[in-house]
Amino acid sequence: MDEAGRLRADCGNCFGLCCVALTFTRSADFAADKKAGEPCGHLDGGHRCGIHADLRGSGYAGCTVYDCFGAGQQLSQVTFAGRDWRGADDGGRAMFAALPVMRQLHELLWYLDEARGYAVAAAEVERAFGRVDALTRLGAEALPGLDPAAERAAVGELLLRISEAVRARVPGRRRDRRGADLVGARLRGAALHGASLRGALLIGADLRDADLRVADFLGADLRDTDLRGADLSGALFLTHPQLNASRGDRSTTLPAALTRPPHWPA
């Protein structure tokens, strides 16, 4: 399997880990409370979600914005060699504890795999990919105690340099809105070509018809952001969870590596 495929969730090869390991808090995102390590009531015996076809309509919108970046199948089929948590002596506790760690590592690999395509600091990108990839192959005993913070910091610095180099190719003024509080901002039609929106709070912002080509979205909060008609061609470090949390439509232009969220109007 190529890296892009490996770093996409494959629920058919996972033991429903996100439906068990994570905590749900009754809210607009989850219709019921669920403790970490407790299977969701909608998870069936074959590790399939009984309401997957209508998660939003059933009150589980939070599930639609979660993406393990392939961590679930890595743990299920590689780390634990296909051993189901239901038959584990510890009830799956080791597997559940490892999921958040593996997810962070796979998210870093997702960004680094994208960075490979920019022909910037190529040797550094490959070294970083190799380091993080080696961590994903640690044994089941080592993973839960691993702190990915150091790698997150190192990879984040590398991705920042890559972003700056790529966006420097964009002519004209490139706006720097890193970490900006843009909650509810009225940015319809905004010229943000090549802008840095890294870590920006764009919750509920109006970005309809905005020019967001080659903008850096690493860590930006796009919950309920209106992206209808926006052009995100070549956007940097944008992920499916961010898109799934936002609102768009068929006139929203996405980077080639990303797919249109199923809840967006056709």
Distances (CA, A) of 109 to 112, 124, 170, 213, 225: 5, 13, 26, 23, 26
The arrangement of secondary structure in 171-266, i.e. its CATH architecture, is 3 Solenoid (2.160)
What confidence tens digit (pLDDT) does each residue in 19-41 have?
999 999 999 899 999 999 999 99
**What is the C-alpha end-to-end distance of the chain, expressed in Å?**
30
CA distance 70 to 257: 15
Nearest to 252 by CA among 234, 222, 235, 227: 227
> What's the pLDDT at 4?
63
CA distance 263 to 249: 9
Nearest to 248 by CA among 232, 234, 229, 231: 229
Low-confidence stretches of the chain (pLDDT beneath 70)? 1-4
Looking at the chain, list the stretches that DSSP marks H as alpha helix, in order from N- to C-terminal side: 3-6, 18-21, 61-64, 71-74, 93-115, 122-136, 149-167, 240-245
What confidence tens digit (pLDDT) does each residue in 192-232 have?
999 999 999 999 999 999 999 999 999 999 999 999 999 99
Cβ atoms of 63 and 20 within 8 Å: the answer is: no
> What's the pLDDT at 172?
87
> Measured in whole angstroms, how far is the alpha carbon of residue 217 from the centre of its chain?
11
122-136 helix and 93-115 helix, angle to the nearest 10 degrees: 170
> What's the pLDDT at 85?
93
Cβ atoms of 16 and 49 within 8 Å: the answer is: yes
**Residue ranges of the chain that CATH labels 2.160.20.80:** 171-266
